[in-house]
Amino acid sequence: MQTPSTPAADTLNPVATGPWTVGGVTLSSRMLLGTSHYPSLQVLSEAVAASGTEVLTVGLRRLQPESGGGNHFWQRVQSLGCHVLPNTAGCHSADEAVTLAQMAREIFGTPWIKLEVIGDDYTLQPDLAATLDAATRLVREGFAVFAYTTDDLVTAQRLHGAGCAAVMPWAAPIGSGRGPMNPYALETLRRRLPDAVLVVDAGLGRPSHATQVMEFGFDAVLLNTAVAQAGDPVRMARAFAEGVSAGRNAYLSTPMPERSSAQASTPTVGMPFWHAP
């Protein structure tokens, strides 16, 4: 599996950022995209094309399969040719999430599942204990679990240890657009989980936010509201793709260390020293 510990395997092309592997699938784009809240299906389609994404998240409850709802939406998503990542959005218990994941596998024909178990309806913060419980059960059932969590290090370590395909910490609460609220915690996650696939999920609002977390060494970002509710979703999708690429290439290039004092960039050795008259 591609990990940040082997950056030489990535291409340094200024546009491409190198392949990576998650859930048994190798991808080129490091940007995953949600499919809700777009002004129209046409705008969604154009934003997907502009982003270059290869993975789209889909909420099973939005499709309402028991009543045949969402067929037009699902047909449009299928036509985009991306990998589908069903999610358990709206679940509030491990049992509920496991049941919905099982339904999603039957309907979408994929073992991939974006696991969300919400613990607080105001912040949409995940229930970490229930998330770990559900993740452990789903991995045992053969699912490739993409686990939405907070930036709590111990929980992330346990999710990775349980066999999750990807650990997906938030940068800030879902839909807030505030960007990384605790950069130290995110950087620590990357340092302490060098072999895990880490994807920032939730809270990014600007392309610069995506650049920042990719500079930390995260493998990818997952976006929805920041693109879908922008004034121009298509242009914003393209801007985020460029931000992700810039951040990944910066990480691979090994940025200069920060210093507490200035250091001249122009050499002065051998230059004459002039005195004012």
Consecutive sets of 10 residues in the chain, 277 residues long: mean pLDDT of each?
39 56 95 94 95 92 58 86 94 96 93 95 92 98 97 97 97 89 95 96 94 96 95 96 95 83 68 58
- Please tell me the predicted confidence (pLDDT) of residue 17: 60
203 labelled as ligand-binding?
Answer: yes
Q: Does residue 126 contact residue 168 with C-beta atoms inside 8 Å?
A: no
Residue 271: predicted pLDDT: 61
Nearest to 236 by CA among 209, 216, 212, 202: 209
DSSP 8: G
Strand partners, 201: 222
The helix/strand/coil state of 277 is coil
State residue 257's pLDDT score.
80
Q: What is the pLDDT of residue 8?
A: 40
231 is in an annotated binding site: no
User: Can 113 be counted among the known catalytic residues?
Assistant: no
Which residues are registered as beta bridge partners of 167?
147, 198
Is residue 202 annotated as involved in ligand binding?
A: yes
Question: Could you tell me which residues come within 8 angstroms of residue 265 by beta carbon, excluding any fewer than 6 positions away?
Answer: none
Class of domain 27-252: alpha beta
Candidates 30, 114, 160, 248; catalytic one: 114
Predicted TM-score (pTM) of the model is: 0.85
* 225 is an annotated ligand-binding site residue: yes
Q: What is the pLDDT of residue 131?
A: 97
Across 88-138, where does the E strand assignment appear? 112-115
